[in-house]
Amino acid sequence: MNGKQNEVLIQVRGLEKHFKGGEIKALNGVTAEIKRGEVVVVIGPSGSGKSTFLRCLNLLEHPTGGSITFDGVDLTNPKVNIDVHRQKMGMVFQHFNLFPHMTILDNMTLAPMKVLKKNREESERKAMQLLDRVGLAGRAAAYPGQLSGGQKQRIAIVRALCMEPEVMLFDEPTSALDPEMVGEVLEVMRDLAGEGMTMVVVTHEMGFAREVGSRVIFMDGGVIVEENSPAELFGNPSSDRLKSFLAKVL
Amino acid sequence: MEWTEWCEQLLTLAQDGTVLSFWEKLNKDFYQAFVQEARWKMYVEGMGNTLKVAVLALVLGFLLGLVVAAVRTFHDQRREEKTGVFLNILNILCKIYTTVIRGTPMMVQLLIMAFVIFKSSRNLVGIAALSFGINSGAYVAEIIRGGLMSVDTGQMEAGRSLGLNYLQTMWYIIIPQAIKNILPALGNELITLLKETSIVTAIGLRDLTKAAQLVTGKTYGGFMALFGVALIYLAMVMVLTWLVNRLERRLRNSER
Ligand SMILES: Nc1ncnc2c1ncn2[C@@H]1O[C@H](COP(=O)(O)OP(=O)(O)OP(=O)(O)O)[C@@H](O)[C@H]1O
Ligand SMILES: [Mg+2]
């Protein structure tokens, strides 16, 4: 997708996130880097801090400690205008979060028009191209409420892509879907990875992690316990916590 | 013989001590309460004042409520370390306002306005509208705040994650969805106001209720005048309720 493969895009150092004045310690010093073109899959038991980690990357959660450098800029610096950097970080949520009062097309063109100041024509052309790619061009005028879960999530993905982000963050994108719809969403994600998109994916889909992931991070108790290539991590887990986790999910 | 003449006759008969039939009495009472000396004009004038107070109060209450809701919502959605002293003070003032207004009787607020703060003013409609507006503002603020909070937090997150700033997300995403809950609630607030304004009789404003009282006084009793205004209130409320329901259905259908 771009010529700067293997350059570090996101550098996370000693990331901490405590809720309720320190009562709940969701992240306890996470250090990780995400290179351009990588697909980093984050796995771990419920409550281990996966979502919090992901949401800290675009500052939907404000870290209580540590730093996040994105494209050379320290996002935790209070002087940074986070809106400018969020444009370059697409996010896909478990519950889609499409805007129910807008058509699919308007969902997709809102941010390009209001944030990137593109004109309607250009924004719509781009949106229609993307809709076509996920086979939903025919639903441009529909409202989110008229779509199935799988369709909604595919729209959510292309809505984020309309902003031409440098990285895509996925928080359990298939967990709220009926089983028969999981495949169509994973396929879109697989295609995206194939095009070289940098992706951070929190998921329980171990098949996807194994097949598409360039690296897998296993989190537990707010820290990264183990980190490796999918083949190594799944085939040769070293920590007991990962072993017992894998025994449960595989 | 004309109906009015007949009623005048009935009136004289009744004064002379003749016992009237139920039907005759009904006609006589109706005549006395609404027609004699063009009394219907008093109800029209009263209804005008009632509507003036209710509508002015709703407009004022809406503006006040909007400001208060904006301050409270903006404050609550900011991160603690970023709020700043000014916003904190505004927020506290807004909280005090809603607490005091919602924690004291409307009647007391009205009397304080009329007999303490504006004791030398004779603009009773103005005083009543102001009192009810200030009172309504506290409730409207909660209606708007509740409407904004009823929108799923994921909507704000989705907007922000696309790079829209706070105000853009509010304007394009949150407010259009919140309005579906807010508008019908505001309609109900107007209905409540319309009925509650009847307590302005306490400061001597000639509203619809006062008209009934005055007529009852002049005609030495009778239920006609009071039943009459009750019916007028009911009719106004039913029209408004119908409008609110229509609006609600319209808004619901727009979300396909
Ligand atoms: N807004 C919040 N306020 C308080 N505590 C929170 C908040 N968000 C997360 N937590 C807590 O932080 C911890 C980590 O939560 P997180 O959602 O990151 O876990 P997760 O790994 O994504 O779990 P799951 O697989 O269930 O989604 C949990 O104990 C959770 O209860
Ligand atoms: Mg989660």
User: How far is it, in rounded angstroms, from Cα B50 to Cα B63?
Assistant: 20
Per the CB < 8 A criterion, the answer to whether B74 and B148 are in contact is: no
Cβ of residue B122 closer than 8 Å to a chain A Cβ: no
Complete DSSP assignment for A132-162: HHTT-GGGTTS-GGGS-HHHHHHHHHHHHHT
Which amino acid does the sequence have at B245?
Answer: N
Q: Give residue B82's pLDDT.
A: 64
Q: Give residue A1's pLDDT.
A: 47
Per-residue pLDDT of B22-64, as tens digits, reads: 898 888 888 888 888 888 888 899 999 999 999 999 999 999 9
Written as six digits, the tokens of A94 are 């478990």
Contact B168/A62, CB-based, under 8 Å? no
Strand partners, A35: A8
Q: Who wins on pLDDT, A250 or B173?
A: B173
In this structure, are strands A73-74 and A65-70 parallel, antiparallel, or unpaired? antiparallel
Distances (CA, A) of B138 to A75, B66, B86, B107, B148: 39, 10, 21, 15, 16
> Which residues, including other chains, have CB under 8 Å from residue B45's CB and lie 6 or more apart?
B206, B211
Per-residue pLDDT of B143-159, as tens digits, reads: 999 999 999 999 999 99
Complete DSSP assignment for chain B: --HHHHHHHHHHHHHTTPPPPHHHHHHHHHIIIIIGGGTHHHHHHHHHHHHHHHHHHHHHHHHHHHHHHHHHHHHHHS-GGGS-HHHHHHHHHHHHHHHHHHHS-HHHHHHHIIIIITTT---HHHHHHHHHHHHHHHHHHHHHHHHHHTS-HHHHHHHHHTT--HHHHIIIIIHHHHHHHHHHHHHHHHHHHHHHGGGGGGGT---HHHHHHHHHHHTT--SHHHHHHHHHHHHHHHHHHHHHHHHHHHHHHT--
Q: Is A72 helix (H, G, I), strand (E, B) or coil?
A: coil
Residue A225: Cβ within 10 Å count: 18
User: How far is it, in rounded angstroms, from Cα B21 to Cα B6?
Assistant: 14
DSSP letter at A53 equals H
Q: Give residue A193's pLDDT.
A: 96
Q: Is the per-residue pLDDT at B97 higher than 90? A: yes
Output the average pLDDT for chain B: 91
A52 within ligand 1 shell (Cβ under 6 A)? yes
Per the CB < 8 A criterion, the answer to whether A135 and A185 are in contact is: no
pTM: 0.88
Q: Give residue B36's pLDDT.
A: 84
Contact A101/B161, CB-based, under 8 Å? no
User: How far is it, in rounded angstroms, from Cα B192 to Cα B186?
Assistant: 10
Distances (CA, A) of A177 to A98, A151, A186: 15, 10, 11
Q: Give residue B80's pLDDT.
A: 58
What is the average per-residue pLDDT within B82-104? 90
Lowest mean pLDDT among A63-77, A194-208, B173-187, B211-225: B211-225
- A60, A59, A68, A61: which is closest to A26 by C-alpha? A61
Q: Give residue A21's pLDDT.
A: 84
User: How far is it, in rounded angstroms, from Cα B217 to Cα B226?
Assistant: 11
Shortest Cα distance, chain B CAs vs residue A10, angstroms = 16
Contact A97/B172, CB-based, under 8 Å? no
Which residue from A20, A50, A172, A225 has its CB within 8 A of the most atoms of ligand 1, so it is best to mutate? A50
In this structure, are strands A24-35 and A8-19 parallel, antiparallel, or unpaired? antiparallel
Written as six digits, the tokens of A58 are 């675009």
The tens-digit pLDDT sequence of chain A (250 residues) is 455 667 999 999 999 999 988 899 999 999 999 999 999 999 999 999 999 999 999 999 999 999 999 999 999 998 999 999 999 999 999 999 999 999 999 999 999 999 999 999 999 999 999 999 999 999 999 999 999 999 999 999 999 999 999 999 999 999 999 999 999 999 999 999 999 999 999 999 999 999 999 999 999 999 999 999 999 999 999 999 999 999 998 8
- pLDDT-derived band at B131, boundaries 50, 70, 90: very high
Q: Is A55 helix (H, G, I), strand (E, B) or coil?
A: helix
A48 within ligand 1 shell (Cβ under 6 A)? yes
Q: Nearest by CB to A60, which of B157, B165, B254? A: B157
Cβ of residue B160 closer than 8 Å to a chain A Cβ: yes
DSSP letter at A87 equals T
Q: Is the per-residue pLDDT at B163 higher than 70? A: yes
Q: Is the dihedral of CA A149, A155, A159, A165 positive or negative?
A: positive
- B196, B207, B74, B59: which is closest to B140 by C-alpha? B59
Strands (E), chain A: 8-19, 24-35, 39-43, 65-70, 73-74, 89-92, 167-171, 198-202, 215-220, 223-228
| Chain B CA closest to residue A112 | B162
User: How far is it, in rounded angstroms, from Cα A139 to Cα A177?
Assistant: 19
Q: Give residue B76's pLDDT.
A: 86
- A29, A28, A53, A27: which is closest to A40 by C-alpha? A53
What is the average per-residue pLDDT within B165-178? 95
- Calculate the CA B81 to chain-centre distance: 40
A27 within ligand 1 shell (Cβ under 6 A)? no
User: How far is it, in rounded angstroms, from Cα B157 to Cα B176?
Assistant: 16
- Calculate the CA B232 to chain-centre distance: 15
Contact B255/A145, CB-based, under 8 Å? yes
Per-residue pLDDT of B117-129, as tens digits, reads: 998 888 999 999 9
Per the CB < 8 A criterion, the answer to whether A124 and A113 are in contact is: no
- pLDDT-derived band at B182, boundaries 50, 70, 90: very high
Per-residue pLDDT of B228-237, as tens digits, reads: 999 999 999 9
Written as six digits, the tokens of B203 are 């400061």
User: How far is it, in rounded angstroms, from Cα B62 to Cα B129?
Assistant: 13
What are the chain A neighbours of B160 within 8 Å (beta carbons)? 60, 83, 86
What are the chain B neighbours of A163 within 8 Å (beta carbons)? 162-163
Strand partners, A91: A169
Q: Is the per-residue pLDDT at B213 higher than 80? A: yes
What are the chain A neighbours of B167 within 8 Å (beta carbons)? none
- pLDDT-derived band at B165, boundaries 50, 70, 90: very high
